[in-house]
Amino acid sequence: LAKTTQPISMDSYEGQEVNITCSHNNIATNDYITWYQQFPSQGPRFIIQGYKTKVTNEVASLFIPADRKSSTLSLPRVSLSDTAVYYCLVGANTGFQKLVFGTGTRLLVSP
Amino acid sequence: SAVISQKPSRDICQRGTSLTIQCQVDSQVTMMFWYRQQPGQSLTLIATANQGSEATYESGFVIDKFPISRPNLTFSTLTVSNMSPEDSSIYLCSVEEGSPYIYGYTFGSGTRLTVV
């Protein structure tokens, strides 16, 4: 699995857009990029996955440039309830793949 | 998506004792996974449990310390044996949801273990 690098922490205020960037310089051709969200006292929750360009769902958007060596998770108009740790994972669909979690980004949203 | 029930949600245990954590899934799944999350840290995979076979342990984790059972396709247990304060962590089970996502895993809410 490709190694990922994320900022350790980020701070924001309610109503702002938050962009969390993940670096994965060694991403392989068949690797996908997946983001998880973990609230305190809960297990991680899958939020979005992409391979290239842009993916959007009801929770977030994921931007992936052409070289795929990085990706950006975008959270529109965050609220206090978006305070969580966000993990970026990279890996391929070649049979069973173990999840390897990096350090994650601890996002704190303030009023 | 699958619903995972994990018990107990938390426990405080004496050193030297053992605790068994249960993970129940509301659907049949091939693989179940056990993770440890030490205070303020990320998740570390302990082992993968397949029904009908021995669990596969990751480097740094051994069966004598973390025996795992997988009696059927909806249930698994993880035992933390001969506990010490260093075992104080959150233990989580997880299953793979599969299609349409490659990494669409669902996690239980975890068991917060404190060893005193």
* Pairwise CB contact (< 8 Å): B107 & A44: yes
Positive or negative, the Cα torsion across B81, B87, B90, B91?
A: negative
Please enumerate in sequence order all residues whose Cβ is within 8 A of that of B101, keeping only pairs 6 or more positions apart, or say none: A34, A46, A49
Nearest to B103 among A32, A45, A104 (CB): A32
What residues in B contact A24, CB-CB < 8 Å? none
**A100 interaction partners in chain B (CB closer than 8 Å):** 45
Residue A101 to residue B97, Cβ atoms within 8 A: no
Residue of B nearest to A41 (CA): B109
Predicted pLDDT at B2? 86
pLDDT for position B100: 55
pLDDT average, residue stretch A5-14:
96
Question: Poorest-confidence range of A51-55, A81-85, B100-104?
Answer: B100-104
Please tell me the distance from the alpha carbon of residue A97 to that of residue B8, in angstroms, as a whole number: 28
Q: Does the CB of B57 have a partner CB in chain A at under 8 Å?
A: no
Condensed to tens digits (0 to 9), the pLDDT of residues B62-75 reads: 999 999 999 999 99
